[in-house]
């Protein structure tokens, strides 16, 4: 047998010796305290205190077990008692092996001496525990309690169990699913049990199990005996439910099962940020996404789908890249790079990509979360020589009115600040407004040309038009004729009988007024620019009104002679303020009526009122979580008969059922009465 093997055997022997010594010490402490408590006339719950003290003492003597995890510590402990080893055993424990070192470590019979020392250290604790046990068993007050009379003790406990109310105190232990990685929770007499879907729920209590019946969501459940009490095992369903416990002694208890759904992971694709069209499928793309889950993520990856073809003939390819195993992480980043050359994309192909993540839900999952889908399309060759022209939309005269009004407001504000500005700053801001006025003048010119039957001018011609001075109708016709070559042949500009020119005259007036306003703004005189700007705004408004169509017809009969009754009334025109009240939801109305009935029942039967609140809470869990929380607090206050909390909980439920209180400006919150 090697020295390393003997060290392993010694460590196991030391661990067993430490456990035995801790048991002896803990038993001595527990039995000693128990004997003192019984002789002093302490109540029966003192037995629990004695057991806890014994466990605490045993735990204190188990602390050296941590040192035995290291084999080097065991070797050092042996070296302290056997100096002749000269650290050969420590070297062996560190993993060094050689024949000379092995001979030196086994040259002294140290293992038998060490075991003798350990066994001698157990003599005193064993003797003390034996003496204390003999004294406790010999004493009639303590020995009778421990040994009892066998069947008499059992029958006494059975009789006591028959007299105990099984629903007096109900304990609830909730064990979450293993994938959640959370510890079990315990509650006494809860009104509701909130847990993840699939959690194991155990309801326990004292008393005879044969006296109880249970239903969960109207389905019968079996209650099993557990020692001197009972136990009911359930699994948290996916939808809210009611657990009803009925005792043959005439008492009922209701518990609400409020499931907490495991949310799917939230995935946000950050790169690429937008859909993209590329001319050639070359280069590399960086992919970046953020993933997050409420409990824990299992893995995440990028999914690719490539579609090729035209018409009704399409083919699809799919792939997954950047797969990342997360092992329960709540939040993480997902990165990858994709090479378009490796995908062999052809013109017209579309690459669609998204980020996906899965959580560790093993009950009804896993949950799959996906981000937005981004598309990368390879342009076709025929997209760059198309001559198709989309139809032009109707002229946006309303947008021109808004822009001109905005420019007037900016100019008025500049005039107010003119005295506080230097000439350079004034000229800079005035030129900025003049530039916007020039752009708007160009848009008005485009509208005029569209109504003349011509196409809008090109960019060069439009800029030339915007830089021109005032224009007459003849100038407009000549410009249109130069663009289309037909306007001069079909239009007669003599007089005002031409309907198109009649409609364009207000816009032509606005065009010329904008030119005058632009001249004043370009030299830094915003005050002189305001009158022509207002004239342009009025002309644009006139053009809008000229386009309206009024149907011919007979005017309606006047019911009241306005001329006769004007200024003859005595009413001063004071109008009362009315609040807009939305229609009441029928579900909210029904819940309010149920709550009023519960309020009337509260004075006669608080337990029944609490059960009614719990039934109402089950219904509200799906669509009104705030109301469900308020009803749960109100039911708890009723169960505990907390007269100080019941009015506050009732007021909270009423506020959630109705509209929230209106806080008006000027009224300070109440700070309490004066003393």
Query: Residue 200 maps to which CATH number?
Result: 2.60.40
Residues 425 and 536 in one domain: yes
Please report which confidence band the pLDDT of residue 473 belongs to, taking 50, 70 and 90 as the band edges.
Answer: low
Q: Which of 367-381, 456-470, 650-664 has the highest mean pLDDT?
A: 367-381
Q: Distance between CA 592 and CA 41 in Å, rounded?
A: 56
Tokens of 440: 């708007």
How much is the pLDDT for 667?
Answer: 61
Residues 233 and 270 in one domain: no
Residue 96 C-beta-side C-alpha neighbours within 13 Å: 13
Residues 60 and 94 in one domain: yes
**In this structure, what are the phi and psi dihedrals at residue 107, rounded to the nearest 5 degrees?**
-70, -25
- If one compares 190 and 663, the residue with the highest pLDDT of the two is 190
How much is the pLDDT for 479?
Answer: 57
How much is the pLDDT for 571?
Answer: 66
Residues 193 and 217 in one domain: yes
Q: How many domains does the chain have?
A: 5
DSSP code per residue over 183-203: --EEEES-SEEEEETT-EEEE
Q: H or E element: which one contains 649?
A: helix 646-657
Q: Does residue 358 sit within a domain?
A: yes
Query: Stretch 463-479: mean pLDDT, rounded?
Result: 57
- If one compares 123 and 498, the residue with the highest pLDDT of the two is 123
| pLDDT at position 570 over 50 | yes
Q: Does residue 155 sit within a domain?
A: no
Residues 139 and 171 in one domain: no
Stretch among 316-330, 497-511, 542-556 having the lowest mean pLDDT: 542-556
Q: Give the distance from CA 190 to its chain's centroid.
A: 27
Residues 197-256: tens digit of each pLDDT: 999 999 998 888 888 889 988 888 888 888 778 999 999 998 899 999 988 877 788 889
Q: Give the distance from CA 52 to its chain's centroid.
A: 43
Q: H or E element: which one contains 295?
A: strand 284-310
- If one compares 145 and 510, the residue with the highest pLDDT of the two is 510
Residues 403 and 541 in one domain: yes
Residues 247 and 318 in one domain: no
Q: H or E element: which one contains 69?
A: none
Please report which confidence band the pLDDT of residue 669 belongs to, taking 50, 70 and 90 as the band edges.
Answer: low
Q: Does residue 569 sit within a domain?
A: no
Q: Does residue 551 sit within a domain?
A: no
How much is the pLDDT for 504?
Answer: 62
Q: Does residue 647 sit within a domain?
A: yes
Please report which confidence band the pLDDT of residue 490 belongs to, taking 50, 70 and 90 as the band edges.
Answer: very low
| pLDDT at position 318 over 50 | yes
How much is the pLDDT for 662?
Answer: 62
Q: H or E element: which one contains 91?
A: helix 88-93
Please report which confidence band the pLDDT of residue 550 belongs to, taking 50, 70 and 90 as the band edges.
Answer: very low
| pLDDT at position 290 over 90 | yes
Residues 15 and 140 in one domain: yes
Residues 252 and 272 in one domain: no
Stretch among 135-144, 308-317, 425-434, 493-502 having the lowest mean pLDDT: 493-502
Please report which confidence band the pLDDT of residue 114 belongs to, taking 50, 70 and 90 as the band edges.
Answer: confident
- Using the 3D structure, point to which of 120, 147, 174 is the last residue of a domain: 147
Tell me what the pLDDT averaged over the chain comes to: 78
Please report which confidence band the pLDDT of residue 153 belongs to, taking 50, 70 and 90 as the band edges.
Answer: very low
Residues 241 and 272 in one domain: no
C-beta of residue 536 within 8 angstroms of C-beta of residue 521: no
| pLDDT at position 154 over 60 | no
Query: Stretch 178-190: mean pLDDT, rounded?
Result: 88
Stretch among 257-266, 387-396, 491-500 having the lowest mean pLDDT: 491-500
How much is the pLDDT for 494?
Answer: 42
| pLDDT at position 356 over 70 | yes
C-beta of residue 290 within 8 angstroms of C-beta of residue 334: yes
C-beta of residue 176 within 8 angstroms of C-beta of residue 182: yes
How much is the pLDDT for 14?
Answer: 79
- If one compares 26 and 556, the residue with the highest pLDDT of the two is 26
Residue 672 C-beta-side C-alpha neighbours within 13 Å: 2
| pLDDT at position 100 over 70 | yes
Residue matched to tokens 């960086």: 286
- Using the 3D structure, point to which of 219, 242, 260 is the last residue of a domain: 260
C-beta of residue 591 within 8 angstroms of C-beta of residue 616: yes
Q: In what order do the strands lie in the sheet with 200-206?
A: 185-188, 171-175, 200-206, 229-235, 224-226
Please report, rounded to a whole number, the percentage of residues in the chain having pLDDT higher than 70.
76
Q: Does residue 168 sit within a domain?
A: yes
Residues 375-397: tens digit of each pLDDT: 999 988 777 654 444 444 555 54
| pLDDT at position 119 over 90 | no
Residues 130 and 188 in one domain: no
Q: Which of 137-151, 288-302, 385-399, 655-669 has the highest mean pLDDT?
A: 288-302
Residues 321-330: tens digit of each pLDDT: 999 998 888 9
Q: Distance between CA 118 and CA 64 in Å, rounded?
A: 14
Query: Stretch 497-525: mean pLDDT, rounded?
Result: 75
How much is the pLDDT for 23?
Answer: 86
Q: Does residue 152 sit within a domain?
A: no
Q: Does residue 35 sit within a domain?
A: yes
pTM of the complete model = 0.46
Please report which confidence band the pLDDT of residue 75 belongs to, taking 50, 70 and 90 as the band edges.
Answer: confident
CATH number, residue 307: 2.60.40.10
How much is the pLDDT for 269?
Answer: 93
Residues whose CB is less than 8 angstroms from the CB of residue 39 and which lie 6 or more positions away in sequence, other chains included = 139, 141, 142
Residues whose CB is less than 8 angstroms from the CB of residue 171 and which lie 6 or more positions away in sequence, other chains included = 186, 187, 188, 203, 204, 205
| pLDDT at position 609 over 70 | yes
Residue matched to tokens 């084999």: 71
Q: Distance between CA 360 and CA 294 in Å, rounded?
A: 11
C-beta of residue 243 within 8 angstroms of C-beta of residue 203: yes
- Using the 3D structure, point to which of 206, 227, 260 is the last residue of a domain: 260
What domain range includes position 242?
164-260
Residues 539 and 508 in one domain: yes
| pLDDT at position 600 over 50 | yes
């Amino acid at each position: 047998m090697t020295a390393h093997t003997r060290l392993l055997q010694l460590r196991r022997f030391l661990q067993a010796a430490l456990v035995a010594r801790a048991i002896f010490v803990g038993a001595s402490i527990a039995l000693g305290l128990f004997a003192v408590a019984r002789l002093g006339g302490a109540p029966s719950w003192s037995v629990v205190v004695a057991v806890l003290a014994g466990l605490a003492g045993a735990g204190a003597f188990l602390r050296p077990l941590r040192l035995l995890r290291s084999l080097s510590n065991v070797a050092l402990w042996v070296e302290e008692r056997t100096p002749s080893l000269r650290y050969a055993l420590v070297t062996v424990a560190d993993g060094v092996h050689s024949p000379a070192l092995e001979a030196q470590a086994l040259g002294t019979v140290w293992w038998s001496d060490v075991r003798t020392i350990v066994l001698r250290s157990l003599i005193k604790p064993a003797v003390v525990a034996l003496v204390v046990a003999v004294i406790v068993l010999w004493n009639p007050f303590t020995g009778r309690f421990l040994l009892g009379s066998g069947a008499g003790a059992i029958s006494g406990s059975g009789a006591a169990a028959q007299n105990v109310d099984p629903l007096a105190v109900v304990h609830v232990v909730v064990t979450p699913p293993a994938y959640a990685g959370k510890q079990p929770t315990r509650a006494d007499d809860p009104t509701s049990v909130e847990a993840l879907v699939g959690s194991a729920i155990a309801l326990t209590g004292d008393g005879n199990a044969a006296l109880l019946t249970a239903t969960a969501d109207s389905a019968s459940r079996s209650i099993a005996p557990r020692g001197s009490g009972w136990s009911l095992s359930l699994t948290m369903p996916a939808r809210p439910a009611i657990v009803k416990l009925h005792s043959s002694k005439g008492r009922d208890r209701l518990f609400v099962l409020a499931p907490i759904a495991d949310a799917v992971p939230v995935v946000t694709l950050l790169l690429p940020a937008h859909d993209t069209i590329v001319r050639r499928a070359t280069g590399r793309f960086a992919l970046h996404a953020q993933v997050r889950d409420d409990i824990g993520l299992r893995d995440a990856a990028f999914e690719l789908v490539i579609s090729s073809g035209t018409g009704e003939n399409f083919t699809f390819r799919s792939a997954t890249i950047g797969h990342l195993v997360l092992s329960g992480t709540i939040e993480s980043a997902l990165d990858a790079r994709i090479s378009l050359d490796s995908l062999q994309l052809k013109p017209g192909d579309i690459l669609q990509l998204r980020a996906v993540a899965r959580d560790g839900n093993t009950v009804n999952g896993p949950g799959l979360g996906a981000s937005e889908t981004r598309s990368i399309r390879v342009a076709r060759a025929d997209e760059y020589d198309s001559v198709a022209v989309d139809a032009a939309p109707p002229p946006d005269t309303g947008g021109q009115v808004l822009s001109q009004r905005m420019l007037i407001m900016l100019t008025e504000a500049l005039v107010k600040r003119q005295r506080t500005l230097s000439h350079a700053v004034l000229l800079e801001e005035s030129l900025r407004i003049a530039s916007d006025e020039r752009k708007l003048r160009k848009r008005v010119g485009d509208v005029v040309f569209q109504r003349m039957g011509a196409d809008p001018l090109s960019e060069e011609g439009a800029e030339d038009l915007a830089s021109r001075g005032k224009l007459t109708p003849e100038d407009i016709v000549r410009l249109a004729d130069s663009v289309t070559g037909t306007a001069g042949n079909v239009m007669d500009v003599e007089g005002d009988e031409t309907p198109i020119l009649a409609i364009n005259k207000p816009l032509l007036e606005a065009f010329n007024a904008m030119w005058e306003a632009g001249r004043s703004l370009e030299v830094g005189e915003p005050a002189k620019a305001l009158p022509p700007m207002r004239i342009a705004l009025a002309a644009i408004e006139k053009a809008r009104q000229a386009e309206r169509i009024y149907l011919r017809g007979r005017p309606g009969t006047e019911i009241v002679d306005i001329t006769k009754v004007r200024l003859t009334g005595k009413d001063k025109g004071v109008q009362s303020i009315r609040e807009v009240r939305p229609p009441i939801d029928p579900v909210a109305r029904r819940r309010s009526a149920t709550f009023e009935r519960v309020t009337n029942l509260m004075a006669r039967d608080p337990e029944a009122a609490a059960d009614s609140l719990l039934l109402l809470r089950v219904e509200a869990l799906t669509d009104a979580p705030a109301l469900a929380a308020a009803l749960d607090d109100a039911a708890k206050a009723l169960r505990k008969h907390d007269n100080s909390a019941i009015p506050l909980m009732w007021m909270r439920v009423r506020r959630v059922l109705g509209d929230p209180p209106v806080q008006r400006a000027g009224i300070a919150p109440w700070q309490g009465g004066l003393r």
